[in-house]
Amino acid sequence: MPELPEIEVTRRTVHQRLLGLRVAEVQLKRSGKTSMHGAELLPSLVARRLVDTGRRGKMLVLYFESDLALLVHLMLIGRVALYQGGPDSFEPRLRLRFEGEQNLEVRFVAARSLALVPSGLVDAYPSVARQGSDALAITLDGFIGALRRSRGAIKGVFMDQSLLAGVGNAYADEILYDAGVHPLAPVASLSEGEEQKLHAAIAPVLRRAIDLGAAEEYVRFLGPAEGLTRKADLMRVHGREAQPCPACGASIEKVELGGRGTYYCPRCQPR
């Protein structure tokens, strides 16, 4: 599933390629698996310019002139594809074609949650309003407050979007590894120093992935995805069971937590 870094890289890609262009055509494929709040407003996007882009946790936001915003959650298998006309390589749920000589299109493939709302109501939209602080912006006090509202294993804090928005299963493992904290450590058992280390690890882990373009699996360019990196190639522990820890050489171990595979180094992250 795409997490904060992948959505941020996608946002920057769309911003660079499409900002200022007018929508020429809109097509929505209706499906029982795809919800579209505000679908009746889609025809009104035609002739409107894309004036800004944004991100709310794991959600991509496209702002159009005259006060309309498109919110997209790629969920588990969604993709964003940029094309220069031509036939679809993937079957999109939503397709926006933009005016101009390049005939650019953005296609949201298998995006399961879509919404078109007034720009001023983005933060009030339920999926956004339920989110906690953004993982790139949360302060130490805000993070400690989220911990105080939590019980159970520390990894659960990073998985709960109402406490910390944008982090999912993979980057939770990477943050915990960077901080040297065992993923199954009870929240109540954390020392003040461990809390500070966890908070200090969040932004560097996410920014490293953003800077390295961690989105090749989730965004398709007008040809090869130049400058992008596979998310899986950036992982130091996640998905690397039985491989050596890059810091100490111990074998990475895997446990199940809430039905999700959780990876850690038993030596760098002692319980």
* Residues annotated catalytic, as ranges: 2-3, 58, 260
Report which of 96, 99, 104 is spatially closest to residue 72, judged by C-alpha positions.
Answer: 96
Residue 113 contacts residue 35 (beta carbons within 8 Å)? yes
Longest dimension (CA), the chain: 60
- 54 by Cβ neighbours in 10 Å (0-12 / 13-18 / 19+) ranks as middle
Neighbours of 236 (CB within 10 A): 19
Report which of 232, 238, 200, 202 is spatially closest to residue 218, judged by C-alpha positions.
Answer: 232
Residue 218 contacts residue 6 (beta carbons within 8 Å)? yes
Torsion sign, CA atoms 194, 199, 203, 206: positive
Neighbours of 212 (CB within 10 A): 17
Cα–Cα dist 70/262, whole Å: 33
Residue found by looking up tokens 């498109």 in the block? 70
**Cα 89 from chain centre:** 23
